[in-house]
Amino acid sequence: MTLRTLSPIFALSLFACTQEEKVTLDVSNFATEFNYANIEFPEHFYADSTSGRHLESVMETDNTPENNPITDAGANLGRYLFYDVNLSANQTISCSSCHQQETGFSDPRVLSLGFEGGETGRHSMALTNARFYQPGMYFWDQRATTLEEQVLMPFQDSVEMGMTLETLVQAVEEQEHYPFMFETVFGDSEVTAERISLALAQFVRSIVSFESKYDEGRAQVSDAWADFPNYTEEENFGKEIFMQTPNTQNGVGCAVCHEGEAMIGWAANNNGLEAVPVTDLGYGAITGVNADNATFKFPSLRNIGVRGTFMHDGRFASLREVVDHYMDTVEDHPNLGIPLSRHDFDLTESEREALVAFLETLTDDSMLTDPKYANPYVTVGAE
């Protein structure tokens, strides 16, 4: 065994502070600080889906690869990387600039701002339950085939963070708290892009939500269709509208696409935002296949109520606008998802409001405030 002579407590000058001010960054307990690996998911995450086309339980859709299981140390290292502004070309932004915990790791801005103030091409995606996208592809257009591949792309994006893999590795190496963390996670202190990717992917996969009002109600009944005892009448009515298939009364088929207990997509799809010609070909631009044109991956609806703007182009500013779109403005694109091809949805004012009320029960305050997902560089009272 190697004797560790260096104390893993380092002084770190924080950008947000005045130049003289030093904040002690104590990472000595980082490997056991939080539980990321042994999560007790609720029973309904193990139950077969009763909505949508697929019957898999949430846990069966977990896209964690065998070579990168979540560990407490690895995910926490990922958290430090996620919040580290030194990993952008001018030390101004981090992943968390565009993926903020209080909004379910999305960005309230329509387009996010990169390190030089430039705007991203699309609206930022919420990361809540991103782990449960079974196809395992990432971005609205699914251009990253795994999460491990995805997490290195923002660094190298000329608008977002402006780094190369070489400058990224260097920026990690230069900071005193990292070698100890890399050694603990990977067995030696070498910093590589691959190791950065593994740790970041672990952190992103650790961001899970299962403690909303929905989950509290779901735990008290035998299946998702039953009225929840903790819901208001309006919320239960909204849930029914959400769950019903399009061929039933009030049914608009939301749950056919936003499937199962994680209310997440199972493939890229089209929800009628634009008729041909569209401004963004989405997945079609990646595959070159016509049937993929204008189809987009869609994130889990968990924590949808705290997001400020919706869809890949951020065109809607409220859940009510989203619901009104599905009722009134669905365009007939040739790749329009089948449940939406029925064009005579006519939910009343109170039915639309009920649907919104239901969507708001998916907010999980414990996830949105949990310190294990929060900025490790901000110490209490340091402001």
Q: How many residues lie near ligand HEC (CB under 6 A)? A: 54
CB of 255 to ligand HEC, least distance (A): 8
The pair of structure tokens assigned to 11 is 């002084």
The pair of structure tokens assigned to 331 is 């365009």
| Amino acid identity at 33 | E
If one asks whether residue 258 binds ligand HEC (CB under 6 A), the answer comes out as yes
The pair of structure tokens assigned to 210 is 């299962």
Handedness of CA 83, 84, 87, 93 (dihedral sign): positive
Per-residue x/- track, 143-162, ligand HEC (CB under 6 A):
-------xx--xx----xx-
Degrees to nearest 5, angle at CA 143 with 140 and 149: 110
Q: Identify which range of 9-17, 24-32, 220-228, 267-275 contacts ligand HEC by CB under 6 A.
A: 267-275
CB of 97 to ligand HEC, least distance (A): 5
Instruction: Find where tokens 């992917």 sit.
Output: 201
Distance of CA 317 to the CA centre of its chain: 18
Cα–Cα distance for residue pair 322/58, rounded to 1 Å: 25
User: Peptide bond preceding 339: is omega within 30 degrees of 0, i.e. cis?
Assistant: no
Q: Residue with the closest Cβ to ligand HEC?
A: 337
359 with 234: CB under 8 angstroms? no
The pair of structure tokens assigned to 71 is 């560990």
Q: Which residues within the stretch 93-132 sit at the binding site for ligand HEC (CB under 6 A)?
A: 93, 95, 97-99, 112, 114, 120-122, 124-127, 130
Cα–Cα distance for residue pair 267/19, rounded to 1 Å: 49
The nearer residue to ligand HEC, 8 or 283, going by C-beta atoms, is 283
If one asks whether residue 257 binds ligand HEC (CB under 6 A), the answer comes out as yes
The nearer residue to ligand HEC, 10 or 326, going by C-beta atoms, is 326
CB of 105 to ligand HEC, least distance (A): 8
The nearer residue to ligand HEC, 27 or 147, going by C-beta atoms, is 147
Cα–Cα distance for residue pair 41/211, rounded to 1 Å: 9
The nearer residue to ligand HEC, 124 or 212, going by C-beta atoms, is 124
Instruction: Find where tokens 């890949």 sit.
Output: 312
CB of 302 to ligand HEC, least distance (A): 10
260 with 52: CB under 8 angstroms? yes
> What distances in angstroms separate CA 112 from CA 96, 97, 151, one per listed residue?
11, 8, 17
Cα–Cα distance for residue pair 90/223, rounded to 1 Å: 51
Cα–Cα distance for residue pair 278/299, rounded to 1 Å: 21
The nearer residue to ligand HEC, 257 or 262, going by C-beta atoms, is 257
CB of 230 to ligand HEC, least distance (A): 21
CB of 24 to ligand HEC, least distance (A): 25
If one asks whether residue 200 binds ligand HEC (CB under 6 A), the answer comes out as yes
| Amino acid identity at 181 | M
If one asks whether residue 62 binds ligand HEC (CB under 6 A), the answer comes out as no
The nearer residue to ligand HEC, 58 or 304, going by C-beta atoms, is 304
Q: Identify which range of 10-18, 48-56, 248-256, 285-293 contacts ligand HEC by CB under 6 A.
A: 248-256
CB of 28 to ligand HEC, least distance (A): 25
Distance of CA 86 to the CA centre of its chain: 22
Q: Which residues within the stretch 292-351 sit at the binding site for ligand HEC (CB under 6 A)?
A: 296-299, 301, 304, 310-312, 322-323, 326, 337, 339-340
The total number of residues shown for the chain amounts to: 383
If one asks whether residue 209 binds ligand HEC (CB under 6 A), the answer comes out as no
Instruction: Name the site residues for ligand HEC (rule: CB under 6 A).
Output: 82, 93, 95, 97-99, 112, 114, 120-122, 124-127, 130, 138-141, 150-151, 154-155, 160-161, 200, 204, 252-254, 256-258, 269-271, 273, 296-299, 301, 304, 310-312, 322-323, 326, 337, 339-340, 355
